[in-house]
Every structure is written in C-alpha cells, then in structure tokens.
C-alpha cells in the first residue's frame, strides 16, 4: 500500500543507487506490468539509457533519463523495488532493470496492480490530472479550502482523490482525520475555519512524520534494501478496530466508506455542528 511516504522513501533510497548510472537493459516479465505501454518502446527507450535524477509525483516514481522520455512507475498495492547483487528467486518478479557495473533492480509485485510507462505522449491521461503535492509550499490552508468548497462527498473520500491532493491513501487519510478530530463522513465542503486549518496541519504532520519513519509496513511494503518501514507502530487508528482510542479510550470503530475500510473514534471525531 505505498502512499506518498512509502514512495518518497523508495525514491530517497534509490537516488544513490540509480542517479548518474546507465541502464544496460530491462527485462519485462509480466504483461500486466506494461499494460499501458508498448513493450518494444519501453525496451528501446531504456536500452543504454543514462538516469539523471529520480523524482516523485503523488504516488508515482519518475526516472528522468538523458535524451529519453521519463520512465514512470506506480507500485499500486503490492509493488516493491528491491536492489540486489544477485537475482531474486521470487515468483513475483515482474521486471528486472540491469545497471551497467551495478546491482539489479527488481520490480516485484504479487498482485500485478503495479505499472510502468513512458512520458512520451502515450501515458494515461490521469497522470497529468494529479492534484497539489501536500508537502509542497503550494499546499496552504487557503488552497485546501478552495478544493473543499462546495463538495458534498465525505471528507475521507475527498482525501483519496488524487486529482485534488496527490499522494494520500487509505492509511494516512484515517490518521490525519483522527488527529484533526474530524469525522470521516463529514461532507468535505462543511469543513471551514479552524477545523480546516487543523486538517491542513494534521495532513502535513502525518505525512512528514511517516516520511521520517520510512513509511508504514503492514505486510508488503519494503524499502529497496528489504527493510520494513517504521511508522506502523505509530498508527493511532488505522487497523486498530476495537482498541482504545489513544486520546479518550473509547474503542476505535471501523466502517466502510465507498468500499474502503475507515477507522475513527466515534467520541472524539465529530461532524461539524449545525448553524
């Protein structure tokens, strides 16, 4: 479940491994991984390509290549990028990147939801519709207010819309709303004033501290060296149905909102008062 902090962790770990290095070739091992692309284009774009810099946009990883289109990867649910000198024996290796005079980079993904494509005009349109980066200076309370205004959808669902704010997923949406004491079912447009300032603050706070802890590992997520992230034991509500709320002690509740598990404290997290 790589969300922004997990993808940021992967990008930071891969920079020293990949930046300035040259790919000799890529092996594409499962058709679902390149479903959005022409595999021949991918192979030829990556053959002997020099990697200049690595970046992140929302939950996407970007490899900027010298004189080639940018390579974009998305890990979706279960994808991992693992660095190893020796070839991994896993059944779920979907692509292998060969570096000149360097280790192998494995794209491992049991569920094959992950994907990779080139920014050469054939990319999925959704990539260009991504919303504001929540850890950028552009993400201000005022900017969030403009996005929320008039929306009737539950704020939890709103936070998952990548075309509004890019990078928040199911875990950090629940965590930020708990910290802000906002009920996940609150209509997004009803959040104003101090509550909105609070939500802006907790979103930035939760995402930044998860980046500091190398992300959350519930089951699949691994850093490129195979280590899990450390934020999992800092979660206040996610995955803690029935456990006491760290603030008030009342049991955490789980509900389904738009088909997604949503965790919250029914005592501390209120919808806004009617006026």
Catalytic positions are 2-3, 59, 260
Which sign, positive or negative, has the C-alpha torsion 240, 159, 199, 182? negative
Q: Does 234 interact with DNA (rule: CB under 7 A)?
A: no
19, 52 in Cβ contact below 8 A? yes
Task: Map residues 147-186 to x or -, x wherever contact with DNA holds by CB under 7 A.
Answer: ----xxxx--x--x-x------xxx---------------
Q: Are 252 and 264 in contact (CB under 8 A)?
A: yes
Question: Which of the residues 92 through 131 are near DNA (CB under 7 A)?
Answer: 92, 110-113, 124, 126-127
Q: Which of 59, 56, 11 is nearest to 170 (CA)?
A: 59
Question: Interacting stretch for DNA, rule CB under 7 A, among 41-49, 57-65, 134-142, 243-251?
Answer: 57-65
Closest distance to DNA from the beta carbon of 70 (Å):
16
62 and 69 Cβ atoms separated by less than 8 Å: no
Tokens of residue 101, six digits:
């005079």
Residue 69 three-state SS: coil
Q: Which of 210, 214, 239, 218 is nearest to 229 (CA)?
A: 214
| Contact flag: residue 50 with DNA (CB under 7 A) | no
Binding of DNA by 1 (CB under 7 A): yes
**Can you give the binding site for DNA, defined by CB under 7 A?**
1, 3, 32, 58-60, 74, 76-77, 91-92, 110-113, 124, 126-127, 151-154, 157, 160, 162, 169-171, 188, 219, 258-261
């Amino acid at each position: 479940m790589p969300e922004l902090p997990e993808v940021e962790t992967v990008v930071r770990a891969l920079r020293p491994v990949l930046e300035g290095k040259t790919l000799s070739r890529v092996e594409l091992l499962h058709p679902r991984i390149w479903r959005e692309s022409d595999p021949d284009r991918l192979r030829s774009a990556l053959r002997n390509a020099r990697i200049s810099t690595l970046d992140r946009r929302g939950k996407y990883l970007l490899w900027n290549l010298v004189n080639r289109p940018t390579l974009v990867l998305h890990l979706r649910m279960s994808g991992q990028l693992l660095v190893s000198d020796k070839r991994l024996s896993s059944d779920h290796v979907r692509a292998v990147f060969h570096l000149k005079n360097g280790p192998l980079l494995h794209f491992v993904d049991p569920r094959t939801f992950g994907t990779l494509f080139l920014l050469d005009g054939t990319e999925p349109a959704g990539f260009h519709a991504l919303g504001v980066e929540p850890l950028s200076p552009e993400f201000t309370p005022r900017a969030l207010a403009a996005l929320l205004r008039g929306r009737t959808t539950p704020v939890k669902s709103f936070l998952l819309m990548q075309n509004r704010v890019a990078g928040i997923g199911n875990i950090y949406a629940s965590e930020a709303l708990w910290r802000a004491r906002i009920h996940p079912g609150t209509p997004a447009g009803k959040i104003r004033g101090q509550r909105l300032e609070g939500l802006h603050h907790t979103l930035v706070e939760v995402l930044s501290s998860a980046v500091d802890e190398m992300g959350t590992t519930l089951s699949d997520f691994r850093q490129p060296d195979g280590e899990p992230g450390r934020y999992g034991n800092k979660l206040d509500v996610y995955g803690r149905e029935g456990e006491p709320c760290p603030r008030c002690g009342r049991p955490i509740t789980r509900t389904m909102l738009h088909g997604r598990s949503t965790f919250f404290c029914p005592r501390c997290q209120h919808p806004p008062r009617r006026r």
